[in-house]
Amino acid sequence: MAGIGGSVTCARPYSGRMSIDESPSPLRTVHGACHHDCPDTCGWTVTVDDSGPLPVAVKLRGDADHPFSQGELCPKVNRFIDRAHSPDRVLHPMRRVGPKGAGEFERISWDDALAEIASRLHDVIDTHGPEALLPYSDAGNQSLLSMFGSGGRFFHHLGASQLERALCGVTVGAGVSMTNGSGASLEATEMVHSKLIVLWGTNTRLTNRHLWPTIEAARADGARLIVIDPIRTLTAEAVDVDAGDRFIQPLPGTDIAMMLAMMHVIIRDGVTDHEWIAEHTVGFDELRVAVADWTPERAAEVCGVEASVVEALAVDVATTRPTALRTLIGPEHHTNGAMFFRTLACIPALTGAWRDRGGGYSRSVGHWTESQIDMDALARPDLMPSPAPRTLNMSRIGEVLTGGDGTAEQPVHAMIVWNANPLVTVPNAELTRRGLERDDLFTVVHEQFVTDTARYADIVLPATTQIEADDIVFPWGHLWVTYNEAAILPMGESVSNTELFRRLATAMGLDEPALHADDEALMRDALPTVDLAELRAAKWLRAPYPADGRPFGDPGGDTPFPTPSGRVELASDALEQMGQPRVPTFVAPAEGPHGDAATLAEFPLQLLTPKQHSRFLNSSYAQLPKHGPAEGSPFVEMCAADADSRSLADGDLAVVVNARSTVEAEVRVSERLRPGVVAVPFGWWMAHHRDGHVANSLTNDSLTDWGGGVAYSDTLVQVRRA
């Protein structure tokens, strides 16, 4: 790739804050936190060598004092210094000189880059109106300023289209809220008190590894483990059948049927907590009627598991105290994704599990950690014109850029991308690619590397890494809000996400003061009740969470559930008003084994594209020499029966195909998958795939039932010899 690389130098004198030891040693330690979109938000320490003309980060290690991560990082971030110092870092602005996608760029100055961007954006706004401008960003860096504090003010002030960020987690929250009134849930380390832990569609040992010691501690204290996943994952491998643990392997997208049958059994057998139901729920009678037909046999048929397994699961969950049902994100990626979580959240209400410390339902703790953030003061939606500009869903960026989703009349003509790599991470990637190829689309990408998305940019701008800017990380996997101190100066000419938008505002001649607030002012606006100096000195603070460990305490009286009825809503008027079923209901995904018969006949296999590699974090590491090659190369995984029936053997070259695209990959025959389900790991880039198509070239961009998420995992394919 032309124009990438260059020497690692600092463009301007250091002006940030550092905690400097008084010792004469040229080495000092700086405290920080991992910025990745990962539940663990590990604390780290960076050793900085000040003996040269510029500070150099020489070591990055887990912070042994960090209450959650306790000194360990992970195979992704252990080599973070290599990532920051990679010769492939984008270190200065670049302008595209070849065709879109070719990755040919020339170096330009910041002044030239800003002048060109300002002029193109002014043109777009003058010719097509401000809604022709679309900001696109996700959680590449999920710190406060980098994710929530950058871009908002700038685009609101301009009146640009708004972006719905719903690829991850939003659907879970939307689902649970319809039952419990909010996304509040059991904090995961509270599971140390549990006697039954059900990991339902979450691959804890891979995706949430620092929670595993909690689970092991509970097991050492007698807890049993049940893992429910269509893939026999690393986490499923931890199941010890002799100790009473179980692994349940349903067909993807069918779990709601299993939950309905569980509730059927729980109600049939009278193992409900009558008192709790009477005091804290509404709609029990409606729910009872709704699950009356959902016998374990019927669910078994839908899910492809034994009826006795469903029956036993129901009994275990209802009769073990405390029981914790634990999820993260995986199951939201189906068209019935929100209903999955709405339904799951009903189960602890039937069994009275919320009574117990270590009982109930556990997910993201953003509800607790982010309660301290004043998002409006940070992003300033009040700067938007009235009526508010349209909102476009990031999950549908391919449609949005090619005239779908209401954009035919009013197309997007300019897009600024930061903190995201949509070409690799959004479903239906070939449609996204067609959008990015448009000649009449002006694209700016602010990045650390020339990602697949950046290859389609007109201008690429250099972004700092987490060791180059101060920020605060609000975790979603634990309660420790952790301060990240800059360890070194921004490398090359890179700038942080907030500095990017200050520069763009200046270049566009926007003098609204809010657009020029410095990072400290932004932090103060966002966190009116937090003493920033104290947080920086303490390194972390624990977000407020109920002292007795139970997320809802003793609901009723002073602390009703925050639903319209003040109770857990087993039946919901609000859902009915949204055009959704009032009570938990199984709706089979259209692209799935119980959906459209014609599609199924042509493409009979369900495709999952999970996070699979311990050295990858979404799309962020496949390109690095100590990461990608160590994970091998992309493959399509299938069971022996499905391979045999296609005359495929381990190592054969196959093509995975559906109406959206093809992906060529080597066959890996494995015992992790059941017949009818295949998997291609997510995270590899175009260049790693033989035909340049990524896993998401195949995936479904249909939206979830509600919540705005997307159904990656409702994807049918056929696999053939290539």
Ligand X SMILES: Nc1nc2c(c(=O)[nH]1)N[C@H]1C(S)=C(S)[C@@H](COP(=O)(O)OP(=O)(O)OC[C@H]3O[C@@H](n4cnc5c(=O)[nH]c(N)nc54)[C@H](O)[C@@H]3O)O[C@H]1N2
Site for Mo ion, rule CB under 5 A: 168
Number of residues that bind ligand X (CB under 6 A): 58
Say which entry of ligand X, Mo ion, ligand SF4, none residue 42 contacts (CB below 5 to 8 A, set by partner kind). Answer: ligand SF4
DSSP reduced 3-state for 33: strand
Give strand ranges (E) for 122-187. 133-137, 162-164
142 binds ligand SF4 (CB under 6 A): no
Give all strands (DSSP E) within 577-703, no chain letters: 605-608, 635-638, 653-657, 662-669, 677-679
74 near ligand SF4, judged by CB under 6 A: yes
Least Å distance, CB 584 to Mo ion, is 25
Site string for ligand SF4, 191-220 (x = CB under 6 A): ------------------x-----------
**608 scored as a contact of ligand SF4 (CB under 6 A):** no
Among the listed residues 211, 559, 620, the one whose alpha carbon sits nearest the alpha carbon of residue 425: 620
Query: In the structure encoding, which two tokens stand for residue 510, read together?
Result: 């926007």
Q: Where are the alpha helices (DSSP H) in 8-160?
A: 80-84, 110-128, 152-158
Q: List binders of ligand X among 517-576 (CB under 6 A).
A: none
CB 175 within 8 A of CB 337: yes
Q: Considering the rule CB under 6 A, would residue 281 count as an interface residue with ligand X?
A: no
Binding residues among 199-228 for ligand X as defined by CB under 6 A: 200-203, 206-208, 228
Tokens of 28: 């000092």
Q: Which amino acid is at 339?
A: M
Residue from 46, 125, 139, 344 in contact with ligand X (CB under 6 A): 139
Contacts of 430 (CB under 8 A, 6+ apart): 398, 660, 661, 693, 697
Residue 255 lies near ligand X (rule: CB under 6 A): yes
- 169: tokens are 């987690």
Q: Taking the CB of residue 111, how many other CB atoms lie within 10 A of it?
A: 11
Which secondary structure element, helix H or strand E, spans residue 60, and what is its range?
Answer: strand 56-62
Total site size for ligand SF4, rule CB under 6 A? 13
Stretch that binds ligand SF4, among 3-11, 71-79, 383-391, 675-683 (CB under 6 A): 71-79
Packed helices 255-268 and 284-291: angle between N→C axes, nearest 10 degrees? 110
Nearer to ligand X, 563 or 713 (CB): 713
Check binding of 463 to ligand X (CB under 6 A): yes
Q: Which is nearer to ligand X, 1 or 574 (CB)?
A: 1
Helix orientation angle between 497-507 and 110-128, rounded to the nearest 10 degrees: 70
488-507 binders of ligand X (CB under 6 A) = 497
The residues near 346 (Cβ < 8 Å, ≥ 6 apart) are 179, 259, 263, 287, 568, 570, 584
Q: Position 711: which residue type?
A: A
Per-residue x/- track, 578-597, ligand X (CB under 6 A):
--------------------
Token pair 């939201």 in the structure block, residue: 332
From ligand SF4, ligand X, Mo ion, none, interface partner of 34 (C-beta below 5 to 8 A by class): ligand SF4
Decide: is 624 part of the binding site for ligand SF4 (CB under 6 A): no
The distance of closest approach from Cβ of residue 721 to ligand X in the complex, given in angstroms and rounded to an integer, is 24
Decide: is 231 part of the binding site for ligand X (CB under 6 A). yes
Work out which of 140, 152, 183, 707 binds ligand X, going by CB under 6 A.
140
Residue 77 binds: one of ligand X, Mo ion, ligand SF4, none (C-beta under 5 to 8 A by kind): ligand SF4
CA end-to-end span of the chain? 29
When computed from its CA atoms, the radius of gyration of the chain, rounded to whole angstroms, is 25
* From the list ligand X, Mo ion, ligand SF4, none, partner contacted by residue 331 (C-beta under 5 to 8 A by kind): ligand X
Task: Please tell me whether residue 610 binds ligand X under the rule CB under 6 A.
Answer: yes
Q: Is residue 715 near ligand SF4 by the rule CB under 6 A?
A: no
Contact call for residues 705 and 338 (beta carbons, < 8 A): yes
What is the nearest approach in angstroms of ligand SF4 to the Cβ of residue 36?
Answer: 4
Helix (H), strand (E) at residue 265? helix 255-268
Binding site for ligand X (CB under 6 A): 37-38, 138-141, 146, 167-168, 200-203, 206-208, 228-231, 233, 252-253, 255, 328-331, 334, 418-421, 425, 446-449, 451, 463, 497, 608-611, 614, 616-620, 682-683, 695-696, 699, 712-713
